Amino acid sequence: MTEGDAAKAEAASDDFASRPALTSRITGSLARRMIAIAALWISLLLIGGGFALDRVLTGAITRNFDSNLEYVLIAMIRSSEIGPDGEVRMIEPLGDQRFLEPYSGLYWQISGGGQEPYPSRSLWERRLDTSDKHDDRQLHTYDSRQFPDEELRVLERDVVLPGSKVNWRFQIAQSREALDLQIRAVRATLIPSLALLGLGLIVLAGLQTFYGLWPLRHIRRAIAAMRGGENRRIIAPLPLEVQPMVDELNALLAHNEKQAEEARLHAGNLAHALKTPLTVLLTSATGSTSDLAEIVRREAAAMRRQVDHHLARARAVGRRGAAQARANVFASVDSVSRAVAALYPDVRLDAAGDRNVVARVERQDLDELVGNLLDNAAKYGGGSVFVTVQRDGNMAEILIEDDGAGISPTDRDRIFDRGVRLDSNKPGTGLGLAIVRDVAEIYGGSVALEESEDLGGALVRLRLPAG
């Protein structure tokens, strides 16, 4: 490398290092989102519940207040009668002394027959309003502001006393001050209690969120430790809900490590395969060899075969991550068979089996696998090739049989090595079966050589994951 190239590389490295790190867009805090939802829901429930509880307690206090007034009203009706002059009168006074004290806040009044109302002394010069717009034969309860300085709770009822045809209206009124004091006392206790309860529940939701999300902080620290080289996997014990995600992350890390190792091995194999041809070319170029052109053509062809082999592996490794890759096996066999039949017109090619079998591989890689195997069977067989497509459990099987001389058991393993050829009289590179084995293993499959029972030659069993 020249000094200019080194300077350019250093400048490019500095420019890359100065770029900001690419991070995914943050959409907010998960903890704050959970706490906000919990706080909103708790607030709605407490407000609704507090309103309902306030209505219940206020209603209970008011009913108790009205019950006491109703008891006095019944006692007043029971102790009333019609006098000789036709006016209503009380047989015995009511026992509460407040009826005798002016403006005491507790009043009664009897009216009817067009006569002046008969009031309690506590009313003094004031009178309770009466209205003929409603029928009070049943108990009528309402709030009244007829006195400017005093809001009243009024109970009234129309009664026809014995010996009279007049409809008398009996009224009991009491100041709402005592009732309002009780209601305010209840609300003074209820509102702070519910507010404190809401605050406690929100704090509890915050603590629950904080400790519930704590395992995610463990994962973050574990990932930071892996990036720093301290660990290779997340091995800390985690809750049941988080452990599957961590298992998938560990599996992804293992997958990436495997791909990186394959890439290193692939680069090393390619470098080793190209080293010998390059050495031959360099030696021939520096010497006085007369057949330099032939040597260059031969060694360049060898290097091209090696590059094609490693490119096939690289394509298969890159496509293996595509989980959606699917290919119909019989369609691939049928397509490749027509191409091989055109190259070997004297060879008979037949195929049978399940036409619906699908393999989890890319169609281009499947065609290359089947093409290499059919090419070998047609080239080294006796003229007949038969292909069977079937499914075995979760694997798709492709059986390729020929009527050739077959392969001895001792050669069945080493024939998959790169460059190994059993018949050097026919053209070839010795890389076809090596490519088949490597690509099949990359996809999680396998390839094996056996003996054909029907045709007597070789049988190749190619197994790939079924879709």
- CB burial class (10 A; 0-12, 13-18, 19+) of residue 326? middle
Q: How high is the pLDDT of residue 429?
A: 39
The rounded distance, in Å, linking the Cα atoms of 219 and 139 is 72
- Second-level CATH architecture of 54-183: 2-Layer Sandwich (3.30)
Closest CA to 402 of 454, 326, 359: 454
Q: How high is the pLDDT of residue 268?
A: 63
Q: Output the CA–CA distances (angstroms, integers) from residue 278 to 177, 213, 288, 307, in the order listed.
A: 110, 59, 17, 13
Name residue 86's amino acid.
Answer: G
**pLDDT tens track for 292-301:** 777 777 777 6
The rounded distance, in Å, linking the Cα atoms of 72 and 94 is 8
The whole-number average pLDDT for the span 52-79 is 93
Q: How high is the pLDDT of residue 45?
A: 94
324-467: CATH topology is: Heat Shock Protein 90 (3.30.565)
CATH 3.30.450 location in the chain? 54-183
**pLDDT tens track for 338-390:** 988 888 989 999 999 999 999 988 888 888 889 889 988 888 888 899 999 99
CB 174 within 8 A of CB 141: no
Q: Supply φ then ψ for residue 140, to 5 degrees.
A: -120, 125
Quickly state the pLDDT bin for 104 (edges 50, 70, 90).
Answer: very high
Q: How high is the pLDDT of residue 191?
A: 93
CB 90 within 8 A of CB 101: no
**pLDDT tens track for 19-50:** 444 455 767 788 888 999 999 999 999 999 99
Supply the pTM of this predicted model: 0.52
Beta-bridge partners for 458: 451
CATH 3.30.565.10 location in the chain? 324-467
The whole-number average pLDDT for the span 99-109 is 92
Quickly state the pLDDT bin for 453 (edges 50, 70, 90).
Answer: confident
Residue 351 φ/ψ region, left for φ over 0, alpha for ψ in the -120 to 50 degree band, beta for the rest: beta
Mean pLDDT, all residues of the chain: 81
Name residue 315's amino acid.
Answer: R
The rounded distance, in Å, linking the Cα atoms of 60 and 45 is 22
Q: Which residue has the higher pLDDT, 126 or 163?
A: 126
- CB burial class (10 A; 0-12, 13-18, 19+) of residue 437? buried
**320 has a pLDDT exceeding 70:** no
Most confident residue range from 53-57, 304-308, 430-434: 53-57
The whole-number average pLDDT for the span 235-260 is 79
